[in-house]
Structure 1
């Protein structure tokens, strides 16, 4: 049985803890977080601490923290036999440069603490300092997901940017659509089937081929009508995206 100390108590840490609780051969033996209040979920399930001097020795130290905290906390680790892993998409493996055993364990998904996820459908991107450590990281990843990808730090930086475009930015656009609906007393749920179909479509088509709408058609009458319905911030976003789609699909600006 390999032991894991989990650093962090946010969305990613919570979902990983739940996933590890369902598998054999690995056990989370402790959770560390600097804020005691954030540890409430874990207290009845596993030993917890806010004191770094109380961190247990373990086979794996898994850092599910904000990017800027990873190196700062890792440098305080005195037990050097553990395999150091972090879950960040934007932080390079070099964050653990002072450790002999280190890697990356990056689950590529958006996590909300109270929204269940199925790790069997979540890609996990891994990296390590050498083949032996990569194998150890892969063995852990395969325990919770069949979709494990060997992605180096440079690739992961680009992948993280791509993920921001297809998730965070898209979700922001959902919020703008919801705002427009509410202002006009329209239930946002009307758009749910459209959102679902748009997402499903790219499983069979490239996003380029799946593009529809007035910008792709170059329908200036509809575009101008839409602009008249928007506030200034929304107009800026609408124009930027419309012009980008026109450029991509060869329409005159």
Structure 2
């Protein structure tokens, strides 16, 4: 049984606590938050504290706080040579205080309080300095049913950046689409099967092969019509930017024999 102390009370910490609570291979010995009220609802399930000097012994200490607070918080931990990890995709492993055994336990998923998360579908990206620490974190990830991936700092940073594109930016495009449908009294919900099919398609095809639409086929008439129908200058800018990007990716305007062949086969 791997023992864990959680440090932080945000979305990631809350979902990790719930996942560990369901595991028979890992357990949370204690949960720290500088504001007890944030985790008071769980006091009957786990010991809670707002005092760093009272932290219990554990195999792994997981810091799940805002990126800006990780370094300073790790320096305040009242012990040395214990395995302490953070859950950030963008903060460096060396931002943790050097008195500690340092690692990263990064669940690559979007977390929202109140929304259930199945950790069997959440990849855990692991980075450590020592091999022995990696094996502990791998076991910890497996204890909550997750598939683990060993990554280095550059790979983790790239994954975090890519995640912004596939999650945050995509969600903003959903919002733009909602504004467009709303402006004409159409139902956004009608688009949901298309959203699901688009996500499902890239499970088996590369995004390059899966691409369709007027920009890829250089349908100038449709593109012009779309731009004319957009009332918002902001929406037109986004449309033009993404259309240009798709054209550049697929060589729509270059006449490349290779690109034409790929387009024809798809």
- Measured against the shorter chain, the TM-score band is over 0.9
Larger deviation, residues 217-226 vs 192-201: 217-226
Instruction: Tell me if the contact between 1:127 and 1:134 (Cα under 8 Å) persists in the aligned partners.
Output: yes
Q: Distance in 1 between matches of 2:123 and 2:243?
A: 32
How far apart in 2 are the matches of 1:90 and 1:59?
24
- The answer as to whether partners of 2:74 and 2:97 remain within 8 angstroms in 1 is no
Please list the CA deviations of residues 60-97 of structure 1 after superposition, one character each: whole Å capped at 9, or x if unmatched. Answer: 11011111111110000012243101111111111125
Would the aligned equivalents of 2:105 and 2:126 in 1 still touch at CA under 8 Å?
A: yes
In structure 1, the residue matched to 2:259 is: none
- In structure 2, distance between residues paired with 1:8 and 1:252: 51
Please state how far the C-alpha of 1:34 moved relative to its aligned partner: 2.5
* 1:176 aligned onto 2:171: no
- What CA distance in whole angstroms lies between the structure 2 residues aligned with 1:34 and 1:188? 41
- The answer to whether the Cα contact below 8 Å between 1:63 and 1:87 also exists between their aligned partners in 2 is yes
Whole-Å separation in 1 of the counterparts to 2:102 and 2:55: 18
**Residue 139 of structure 2 aligns with which residue?**
139
Is 2:188 the counterpart of 1:188? yes
- Identify unmatched segments of 5+ residues in structure 2: 255-266
Alpha carbons 2:107, 2:124 under 8 Å: kept: yes
Which range moved further: 8-17 or 53-62? 53-62
Task: Tell me the distance in 1 between the aligned counterparts of 2:181 and 2:211.
Answer: 23
Unmatched 5+ residue regions in structure 1? Answer: none
Q: CA deviation at 1:42?
A: 2.3
User: How far did residue 146 of structure 1 move?
Assistant: 4.5
Q: Across the two proteins, how many residue pairs are aligned to each other?
A: 253
Q: Deviations over 1:180-221 (max 9, x none)?
A: 112222221100000000010111211001101111111122
CA distance in 1, matches of 2:69, 2:128: 20
Map of 2:20 onto structure 1 = 20
Partner of 2:102: 102
- In the alignment, is residue 251 of structure 1 matched against residue 249 of structure 2? no
2: CA distance between counterparts of 1:99 and 1:190?
A: 55
CA spacing shift, 1:163–1:120, aligned 2, 3 Å = same
CA contact (8 A) 1:104 1:126 kept: yes
Distance 1:25 1:203, change over 3 A: closer
Instruction: Indicate yes or no: 2:243 matched with 1:242.
Output: yes
Q: Which position in structure 2 is the counterpart of 1:125?
A: 125
CA offset digits 1:9-30 (Å, max 9, x no partner): 1111111101100112422122
| Distance (Å, rounded) in 2 between the aligned partners of 1:182 and 1:40 | 41
Q: For 1:55 and 1:106, how far apart are their aligned partners in 2?
A: 22
